[in-house]
Amino acid sequence: MPTYRLSELAQRVSGEVRGEGDPEIDGVAALDQAGTRQLSFLTNPKYRSKARDSEAAAVLLPAGVELPGRSLLVHPEPYLALANLLDLYHPPPPPPRGVHASASVDPEASVAEDVAIGAHAVIEPGAVLESGSIVGPGCVIGPKARLGERSELRANVVLYAGTQVGKRCLIHSGVVLGGDGFGFATSGGTHHKIPQVGRVVIEDDVEIGANTAVDRGALDDTVIGEGSKIDDLVMIAHGVRLGRGALLAAQSGIAGSTRVGDHSMFAGQAGAAGHLTLGDKTIVAAKSAVLADVAEGGMVAGIPAVDHRQWKRAQAAFRRLPELKKEVGDLRRRLADLERRLDEAEDRS
């Protein structure tokens, strides 16, 4: 592991050294695991006590967080600095090269000279593998599918026929791109399959987590916008158009033909029904179900999803239901008693 002075690290990430000394740093670790020659990381002030007690030689943190008596690396975007430092101390291995002897590459496929193809991968007729792309073991690239420059498929990824993957994409193991959308015409109690003739188009700089599925459109393409990042176990249905720079956390799902705007976010297990429009910078809270359109910049929560402020008020009221039920019961008894007394007074008069 290479060793750098804290000041050298600061220079590499355009940060600032503050506090005590200029220690040598030979790695990066969590606050409670860092050794005396390692850098650690603090962004949440509630962990300040852990940072004070940590054995770390120095702490990376944002401006405005004070930690007296420690060597500090201050950065306006500490997560970005952390990513760059992890790359520095843990550089990726050199990319593989060449075609494994057990791979099956159809002679009608177009494969750049510097492509790497792993064991038992299958490249079908008309597929295109552009320069610097990497195909992991067990992958299948269907007819006329395309893998863009410097994109990588980890082990056991499937690109169905016609699927297009842009440049610098990373597709993790078990992902299936371009499977048939869930489309059926029901007649007389029988479900007749509707041919799915659209494609899946993954734009540049997209990352897709393990065991995620993106289905092809029935007629239109399913599109994942440039720079989007999708977690493991996500389902994107046929004809969805996901905007640029979107973030989808694990087990979220988007039903057919829904449009999701640029820089939108779905938290874990959030979902959206089909044929909706979600504006740019929409945020969907965890376990929420979006059943109606959402305006640009909207933040929604709940089932069905509503404005998050309304949802918070509803949750506050929900927690008081037992108390409110008792209060209502008391009021009904008091009202009944008053009515009885009124009736008795009327009878006496």
Q: What is the CA 5 to chain-centroid distance, rounded?
A: 34
User: Across residues 78-82, what is the average pLDDT?
Assistant: 95
Rounded-to-integer distance, Cα 72 and Cα 57, Å: 9
Q: How confident is the model at residue 18 (pLDDT cuts 50, 70, 90)?
A: very high
**Per-residue pLDDT tens digits for 275-300:** 999 999 999 999 999 999 999 999 99
Q: What is the pLDDT of residue 231?
A: 99
Segment 94-136, tens digit of pLDDT: 888 899 999 999 999 999 999 999 999 999 999 999 999 999 9
3-state SS, residue 74: strand
Tokens, residue 270: 């959030």
Whether omega before 304 lies within 30 degrees of 0, making that bond cis, reads yes
Note the pLDDT tens digit of each residue in 26-64: 999 999 999 999 999 998 888 888 998 999 999 999 988
For the chain, the structural domain boundaries read 4-89, 98-309, 319-348
Residue 335, pLDDT > 80, answer: yes
Res 347: pLDDT: 78
Provide, rounded to the nearest whole percent, the portion of the chain with pLDDT above 70: 100
Q: What is the pLDDT of residue 134?
A: 98
Phi, psi of 148 (to 5 degrees): -75, 170
131-154 pLDDT per residue, tens: 999 999 999 999 999 999 999 999
Model pLDDT, residue 155: 98
pLDDT digits 0-9 by tens, 259-273: 999 999 999 999 999
Orientation of helix 6-13 relative to helix 78-89, angle to 10°? 120
Q: Rounded to whole angstroms, how far apart are CA atoms 246 and 236? A: 13
- Note whether 235 and 256 are within 8 A (CB): no
pLDDT bracket for residue 22 (50, 70, 90):
very high
Cα distance between the two ends of the chain: 99
pLDDT for residue 257: 97
User: pTM for the whole thing?
Assistant: 0.88
4-89 adopts what CATH topology?
A: 3.40.1390
Confidence of residue 75 (pLDDT cuts 50, 70, 90): very high
- Residue 65 has a pLDDT of 86
Kindly report the three-state secondary structure assignment for every residue of 77-136: CHHHHHHHHHHHHCCCCCCCCEECCCCEECCCCEECCCCEECCCCEECCCCEECCCCEEC
- For residues 31 and 40, the answer to whether their CB atoms sit within 8 Å is yes
Q: Whole-number mean pLDDT of the chain? A: 95
Q: How many CB atoms lie within 10 A of CB 33?
A: 11
Q: Which of 90, 191, 192, 238 is catalytic?
A: 238
Q: Are 123 and 117 in contact (CB under 8 A)?
A: yes
Q: Is 90 a catalytic residue?
A: no
pLDDT of residue 318: 87
**Would you state the pLDDT for residue 9?**
96
Using only C-alpha atoms, the chain has a radius of gyration, in whole angstroms, of 28
Span 155-201, pLDDT tens digits: 999 999 999 999 999 999 999 999 999 999 999 999 999 999 999 99
98-309, superfamily in CATH?
Answer: Hexapeptide repeat proteins (2.160.10.10)
User: Containing H/E element for 166?
Assistant: none
Query: Is 90 exceeded by the pLDDT of residue 301?
Result: yes
Which CA distances in Å does 297 have to 277, 279, 304?
Answer: 12, 7, 18
Query: What's the confidence (pLDDT) of residue 163?
Result: 99
